[in-house]
Structure 1
Amino acid sequence: MKLFNLSGRKTLEEASPVAFADWKDAPHGTAISLPQDVEVEDLRSHLNELTLIVLEFPIFRDGRAFTQARSLREYEGYKGEIRASGHLLPDQAIHLKRCGFDSVALPEEANTQDWDEQLSRYQFYYQNTAVSSA
């Protein structure tokens, strides 16, 4: 796996996220992997302790992680790193960034140039975003 930085912020490359199922009964560690069927509100009292939340895209057509990221940034005020993991395409780079993701976990064979090209594709946006620098 290699990381692609969407936000320009420093990423936590060495972090080892704990599965939410293991973490929820006895919260430990500062990095978790959150499946799409968990509400981000379940993390509210622990957000200050978490430095990395990995949001999963188990299949291409399931985009609930976009909503989770936006909720973490916009409604919960989460300031740590949000990383996308799973079935993703370079075409989604801009939307990931605008929803609040900082990085994407890519397979080793992924072409990061495709991701860079997508990030520089548009210069102006008409819609609001969950992050101010997108």
Structure 2
Amino acid sequence: MPHVIKHGLLVADDWTLVTSAPANPARVILPLADWQARPDHPAVWLAPDETPDALLPHLDRLALVAIHFPVFTDGRGYSLARLLRQRHGYRGELRAFGDVLRDQLYFLHACGFDAFSLRADQPPAEAVDALADYRWQPLGQR
């Protein structure tokens, strides 16, 4: 089973990220276009050029919002995270995925992310250890 860093710990990832909706979408993170056809689904992912506007009436029941980083130099996901957390008050899991490097984790967390799915060549256990390089506080304790 793949792993994800969540709240500063390495945990088994029981969600599956999909690029199009499967017939049975249990425990999958749907892309925004597919989620809009099923807005009762608890998990959605946004591309960096999408806005969270469609999610706003549903934020209180979304368990997970994931934001895609197609390349590590694309910073739009940081802005999306800030909008969701600070302006819109989203309190569920906010996950960064894609071209996510261990060196970005502190800064991603500072913008509101509390879970990270690293790029395949980034050892998650080493990334968790790297979090100790900075003062790490769970999101609700800042």
Distance 1:11 1:36, change over 3 A: farther
What does 1:93-132 correspond to in 2, within 5 Å? 93-106=105-118, 110-123=122-135, 131=139
- Residue 79 (structure 1) aligns with: 91
RMSD, aligned CA: 2.4
What does 1:1-40 correspond to in 2, within 5 Å? 1-7=2-8, 13-14=14-15, 15-40=27-52
Q: CA deviation at 1:73?
A: 0.7
Q: CA deviation at 1:24?
A: 1.9
TM-score normalised by L of structure 2: 0.76
- Residue 101 (structure 2) aligns with: 89
Q: In terms of mean alpha carbon deviation, does 93-102 or 39-48 score higher?
A: 39-48
Distance 1:51 1:132, change over 3 A: closer
Q: 2:62 aligns with which of 36, 50, 54?
A: 50
- Quick one: distance in 2 between partners of 1:96 and 1:60? 11
CA contact (8 A) 2:100 2:119 kept: no
Unaligned runs of 5+ in 1: 125-130
Look up the SS of the partner of 1:4 in the other structure: strand
- Quick one: distance in 2 between partners of 1:7 and 1:69? 17
The AA in structure 2 aligned to 1:133 is: Q
- Quick one: distance in 2 between partners of 1:52 and 1:94? 20
Distance 1:12 1:89, change over 3 A: closer
The AA in structure 1 aligned to 2:74 is: D
Look up the SS of the partner of 2:106 in the other structure: helix
Distance 1:62 1:107, change over 3 A: closer
TM-score normalised by L of structure 1: 0.80
Higher RCO, 1 or 2 (CA under 8 Å, sep at least 6)? 1
Distance 1:109 1:2, change over 3 A: farther
Moved over 6 A (4+): none
Look up the SS of the partner of 2:28 in the other structure: coil
Percent identity between the aligned chains? 31
Q: In terms of mean alpha carbon deviation, does 107-116 or 55-64 score higher?
A: 107-116
